């Protein structure tokens, strides 16, 4: 840092800003105590442009110095902090940035109505207790000082010199909760026929929740009351996406359709009975909507009858072969008995014709199977099949 810039940061400049930081910090703490106490009292405020004040705090390192400057109760305490604050100002290039920032222009906080300057209720301002803003007087152009009533944590601000026979604006500044750092704002429009002082007197008996719920009150909230809720709703789609696609299925759209001449087209079995010109709510994209079997097109492949018959013959042939093999195993013993004694098989009882019929079939099929194997089992060398060898043993 050059000697020229160091010389610009003289002791008086540093001391002035130490006092400004200390008073502003004390004013913020005092206002918080007043709002949290809920007591009723009147205070004088100087309206600060919020944007200018935030820039000023960043330029001088307000957050780093406020606790230290708050301990400077005497001139000696201030003198002891000069060198420390000067070093920080040099690092932050505070002097040059303050020159670029310039003075606070309070005209931004006003509006003109019929050549009269009124408080601009829509402007972004911060009320600073007047007893803690004296060191800022030389840094403010067109300073606005007002007298306000505070009750149950609410600051009531109204135009000190209102227009005659015209509606007025009553400004409410409050904290959503004790942990809130910023003030929320509500604007109540008062008709010309109403007495604004009487309205303030009535509202000062209520807390902010009661005022919000009061009917017949022309009130507008500049800051979103449910700011946290709005934030959650914006994040809900991402959360739902993480939980699974099932939560992201689109809901069915609903359409109102006339039911004229739909009876025969939709349901031949009279499942739906529409009255003429009656409107019905129909859901699209939802499951089980008009799932009538009569309305569905059924598609089946045409079967080849020749192929089907061929497959049936093959299955029947396999069944017969399996049956013959089964009978053959049982008939080997019968064959041995027949060789020894032909009358060993007794005639079945005439009363059981079905048993007799099946027995004859089994005997016949057993003979056929043995004869087939006997003929196929002969070899070119004249040897016999295994079944014949076993039968002769």
pLDDT tens figures, 223-241: 544 333 333 434 434 433 3
CA neighbor of 43 nearest in space, from 157, 126, 120 = 157
Q: Which of 193-197, 280-284, 312-316 has the highest mean pLDDT?
A: 193-197
Distance of CA 373 to CAs 63, 378, 384, Å? 110, 9, 11
Which pLDDT does position 52 carry in this prediction?
97
Percent pLDDT > 70 in the chain is: 62
Per-residue pLDDT, averaged over 275-279, amounts to 49
**Residue 176: what are its φ and ψ, rounded to 5°?**
-65, -35
DSSP 260: T
Q: How confident is the model at residue 13 (pLDDT cuts 50, 70, 90)?
A: very high
pLDDT at 258: 46
User: Has residue 251 got a pLDDT over 80?
Assistant: no
The answer to whether residue 62 scores a pLDDT higher than 80 is yes
Q: Which residues of 168-185 are buried (b: 16+ CB within 10 A; e: fewer)?
A: bbbbbbbbeeeeeeebbb
* Complete DSSP assignment for 130-179: GGG-GGGGGGEES--EEEEEEETTEEEEE-SSPPTTS-EEEEEEE-SSTT
At 181, the pLDDT band (50, 70, 90 cuts) reads: confident
Residues 6+ apart with CB under 8 A from 379: 385
Q: Concatenated DSSP letters for 173-238?
A: EE-SSTT--SPEEEEEEE-TTS-HHHHHHHHTTS-HHHHHT-TT--EEESS-TTHHHHHHHHHHHH
Read off the pLDDT of each residue in 100-110 and give the average, rounded to a whole number: 93
Could you give the angle at the alpha carbon of 235 between the alpha carbons of 230 and 241, nearest 5°?
145
Select the highest-mean-pLDDT range: 56-60, 162-166, 341-345, 371-375. 56-60
Confidence of residue 301 (pLDDT cuts 50, 70, 90): low
Q: Output the pTM of the full model.
A: 0.55
Confidence category of residue 298, pLDDT binned at 50, 70, 90: low
DSSP 370-384: HHHHHHHT--TTSPP
- Is residue 243 scored above 50 in pLDDT? no
Number of neighbours of residue 388 by Cβ within 10 angstroms: 15
The residue with tokens 């008939």 is: 331
37-41, 160-164, 178-182, 363-367 — which is least confidently predicted?
363-367
**390 or 306, higher pLDDT:** 306
Q: Is the pLDDT of residue 263 over 60?
A: no
Q: What is the pLDDT of residues 121-160, one digit of tens each?
A: 989 999 999 999 999 999 999 999 999 999 999 999 988 7
| Ranges 85-89, 192-196, 253-257, 303-307, most confident | 85-89
Pick from 313, 318, 248, 253: which is nearest to 282 by CA?
Answer: 253
- Which of 65, 137, 146 shows the shortest CA–CA distance to 104? 137
pLDDT band for 272, please (50, 70, 90 cuts).
Answer: very low
Mean of the per-residue pLDDT values of the chain: 75
Query: For residue 16, what pLDDT band results from cuts at 50, 70 and 90?
Result: very high
Q: Look at residue 43 in the predicted model and tell me its pLDDT.
A: 93
pLDDT class for 55, splitting at 50, 70, 90?
A: very high
Distance CA 252, CA 100 (A): 59
Give me the pLDDT at residue 269, please. Answer: 52
Given pLDDT bands bounded at 50, 70 and 90, which one contains residue 70? very high
**Structure confidence at residue 361 (pLDDT):** 79
Residue 283 confidence class, pLDDT cut points 50, 70, 90: very low
Task: Tell me what pLDDT residue 311 has.
Answer: 66
Q: What is the mean pLDDT of residues 16-40?
A: 93
């Amino acid at each position: 840092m050059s000697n020229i810039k160091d010389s610009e940061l003289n002791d008086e400049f540093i001391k002035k800003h130490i006092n400004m930081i200390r008073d502003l910090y004390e004013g913020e703490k005092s206002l918080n105590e007043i709002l949290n106490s809920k007591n009723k009292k009147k205070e004088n405020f100087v309206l600060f442009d919020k944007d200018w004040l935030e820039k000023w705090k960043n330029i001088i390192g307000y957050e780093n110095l406020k606790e230290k400057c708050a301990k400077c109760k005497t001139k000696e305490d201030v003198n002891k902090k000069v060198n420390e604050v000067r070093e920080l100002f040099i690092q932050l290039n505070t002097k040059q940035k303050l020159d670029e920032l310039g003075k606070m222009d309070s005209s931004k906080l006003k509006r003109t109505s019929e050549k009269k300057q009124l408080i601009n209720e829509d402007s972004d301002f911060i009320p600073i207790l007047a007893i803690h803003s004296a060191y800022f007087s030389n840094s403010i152009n067109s300073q606005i000082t007002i007298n306000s009533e505070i009750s149950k944590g609410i600051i009531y601000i109204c135009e000190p010199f209102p227009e005659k026979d015209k509606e007025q604006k009553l400004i409410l500044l409050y904290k959503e909760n004790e942990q809130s750092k910023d003030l929320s704002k509500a604007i109540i429009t008062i008709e010309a026929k109403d007495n604004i002082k009487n309205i303030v007197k009535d509202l000062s008996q209520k807390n902010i929740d009661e005022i919000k719920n009061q009917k017949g009150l022309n009130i507008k909230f500049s800051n979103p009351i449910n700011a946290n809720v709005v934030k959650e709703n914006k994040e809900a789609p991402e959360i739902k996406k993480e939980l699974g696609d099932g939560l992201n299925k689109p809901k069915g759209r609903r359409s109102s359709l006339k039911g004229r001449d739909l009876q025969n087209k939709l349901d031949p079995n009279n499942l739906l009975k529409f009255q003429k010109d009656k409107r019905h709510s129909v859901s699209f994209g939802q499951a089980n909507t008009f799932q009538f079997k009569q309305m569905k097109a059924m598609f089946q492949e045409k079967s080849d009858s020749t192929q089907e018959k061929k497959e049936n013959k093959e299955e029947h042939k396999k069944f017969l072969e399996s049956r013959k093999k089964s009978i053959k195993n049982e008939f080997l013993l019968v064959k041995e008995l027949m060789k020894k004694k032909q009358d060993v098989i007794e005639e079945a009882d005439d009363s059981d014709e079905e048993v007799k019929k099946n027995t004859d079939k089994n005997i016949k099929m057993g003979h056929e199977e043995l004869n087939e194997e006997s003929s196929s089992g002969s070899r070119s060398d004249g040897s016999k099949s295994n079944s014949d060898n076993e039968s002769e043993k």
